[in-house]
Amino acid sequence: MNNIKLDKRTIITFLISAFIIAICHNLKIDNYFKNVIIPFIILILSYIYLFKLTKNINKKAYYLLIPIILILTSNLIIKIDYTNQLLNIIILPILITIFFMSLINKNYNISNDFALWVFKLFPKNLFNNLKFLKLNKSKTKNNFSKIILGITIGFGIGLVILCLLTSADAYFNSFINQITGKIHFNFSNIFIFVISFIILFSIFINILLNENTKMQKIKIHNFDKLTVSIILIIINIIFVLFLISEISRLTVNFLQIPIEYTYASYAREGFFQLLFVTLINFSLIMFLLYKSNVIKDNITIKKLIILLICFSIVLIFNSYYRMYLYISHYGFTILRLQVTLFLLMELIIFIMVIKKIMTGLSNDALIYFIIMLSFYIVNIYLCNENFIALI
């Protein structure tokens, strides 16, 4: 794949895209919109334009544009909170990676490590991919690519050095300011332009380099069944004890524990610890289910896992009840609503896992992905100050 050949259309597209990003950076608009949303929109539009003539593309991948657009436009439709803005910066690269790899790579699918492919695209080979800045064997066109390469690298390194020198020397900084003041040159815009071009170009090349890359097979571990059984039995016994304790505390205190509780203290106590316990259970169950054959090969372990899932579901309901009491007394906040949605998502996924263990479930990774993505989008549009004010 080192024989990648680019035409003028590709280079010019990225030059225009980088120029638009640099210009938009100066707009007096919301920082999140101009520094996050606009670059992602430019990236998507430019790549779709360049890949539209690619043969054998998977048109079903375009369905992924629906959640991507919903996320990109969320801050325009409603004012999303700062936490969701940060989450979008993490989620969008993953979704965009899935979209473009699904579009052009017939081997790519929603499976064990699909989300980690984002690291195959960025920042891998960020500057090394500039070697592909060549059009063809034509001397004139080859000189054009060399000029672009030289300007790109020269400006990139030069601007970094210039920024360091102006920070280190006030006299030199004043001298540069006089020059830029006379020619109305904004070096920060040039820096953004160069960096944007390098990133857009490098990710594009990495997509092409991975066009035929195959997904890694899931590594199956061979665990001793007796050891796994003992581990699960111990964990389940702990949950049995916890369940007995909760029943006693919420009823007539038949354990006769001399500790008094109010509903307010009960609601506040240990909520996030319980939430973390469910995550530990979920991680253990998914690891044994997808990284080993112990559940498939042993009926006892299968029953112990189902029992552990049932206890995890009880924990979810217990956590939800605590949150319900807390919300009833103190009202909704963005975080409390997010936690409630997360508990509901966990419950649905655990039900899917039970179905997977009991009867089998095809395309289960895709189902989990759809569930999590759907809840994430619901979180964006509901977990904001405007919606909280309505309830």
Average pLDDT over residues 55-63: 88
- Alpha carbon distances (Å) from 257 to 65, 240, 250, 263: 56, 17, 12, 16
pLDDT band at 47 (very low <50, low <70, confident <90, very high): very high
**pLDDT score for 268:** 58
**pLDDT score for 219:** 79
Average pLDDT over residues 300-316: 90
Average pLDDT over residues 65-88: 91
**pLDDT score for 139:** 47
- With b for 16 or more beta-carbon neighbours within 10 A and e for fewer, the 225-244 pattern comes to beebbeebeebbeebeebee
More confident call, 17 vs 55: 17
Average pLDDT over residues 370-388: 91
More confident call, 42 vs 323: 42
Mention every residue, 6+ apart, whose C-beta is less than 8 A from residue 26.
Answer: 186, 189
Average pLDDT over residues 152-170: 80
pLDDT band at 135 (very low <50, low <70, confident <90, very high): low
More confident call, 9 vs 72: 72
- In whole angstroms, give the CA distance from residue 91 to residue 325: 32
Distance of CA 313 to the CA centre of its chain: 26
User: Any idea where the domains of the chain sit in the sequence?
Assistant: 8-209, 225-390
**pLDDT score for 27:** 79
Long-range contacts of 147-156, Cβ-Cβ distance < 8 Å, separation of 24 or more: 148/11, 152/194, 152/197, 152/198, 153/127, 155/190, 155/191, 155/194, 156/194, 156/195, 156/198
Spatial contact of 193 and 263, defined as CB atoms under 8 Å apart: no
**pLDDT score for 184:** 47
Q: pTM of the entire structure?
A: 0.79
Which candidate, 46, 8, 41, places its Cα nearest to that of 24? 41
Spatial contact of 188 and 21, defined as CB atoms under 8 Å apart: no
Spatial contact of 118 and 94, defined as CB atoms under 8 Å apart: yes
DSSP string, 140-174: HHHHHHHHHHHHHHHHHHHHHHHHHHHHH-HHHHH
| pLDDT higher than 50, residue 183 | no
- In whole angstroms, give the CA distance from residue 265 to residue 260: 10
| Residues counted in the chain | 391
More confident call, 190 vs 240: 240
**pLDDT score for 309:** 92
Instruction: Centre a 10 Å sphere on the Cβ of residue 50 and count the other Cβ atoms it contains.
Output: 18
More confident call, 44 vs 31: 44
Average pLDDT over residues 371-391: 88
**pLDDT score for 246:** 79
pLDDT band at 244 (very low <50, low <70, confident <90, very high): confident
Four-point Cα dihedral 369, 370, 373, 375, nearest 10 = -120
Mean model confidence pLDDT for the chain: 83
More confident call, 213 vs 330: 213
Residue 52 in 3-state DSSP?
coil
Tokens representing residue 369 in the block: 């992905």
